[in-house]
Amino acid sequence: MHHDERIERFYTSTAWRKCRIAYLQNVGGLCEHCIRKGIIEPATDVHHKKPITPETVDDSRITLSWDNLVALCEDCHREQHTKRRWRCEPNGHVPL
């Protein structure tokens, strides 16, 4: 799924598994986005608001901080990962 071995290792680590379980329990196991819309939906995933990259994978303020996490149902998690982000190159082109 991830293209970096260190990121893959992080997602299978004991530290992440414990953090994920504790966070889900803390928020009551419900999707935080759905709750804001008045919908009760179980959370299936814990999403990093600021993504884990090869540069941040060793930074626990990004990887394990609850301030960077949000519990999401499958639909909301998919939506977070399918949002398009456009970047403009210095020459003005937008790569697709």
DSSP state of 67: G
Whether this prediction's pTM lies above 0.75 is answered by yes
Question: How many independent structural domains does the chain possess?
Answer: 1
Which residues, in sequence order, are CB contacts of 74 under 8 Å at separation 6+?
A: 44, 45
Domain membership flag for residue 91: no
Domain membership flag for residue 87: no
Domain membership flag for residue 66: yes
With DSSP H G I counted as helix, E B as strand and the rest as coil, what are the percentages for the chain, rounded to 5?
45, 10, 45
Domain membership flag for residue 64: yes
Domain membership flag for residue 88: no
pLDDT tens-digit profile of 34-59? 999 999 999 999 999 998 999 999 99
* Contact predicate 15/23, CB 8 Å: no
Alpha-carbon dihedral of residues 16, 21, 23, 28, nearest 10 degrees?
160
Domain membership flag for residue 90: no
Range of the domain at 39: 5-82
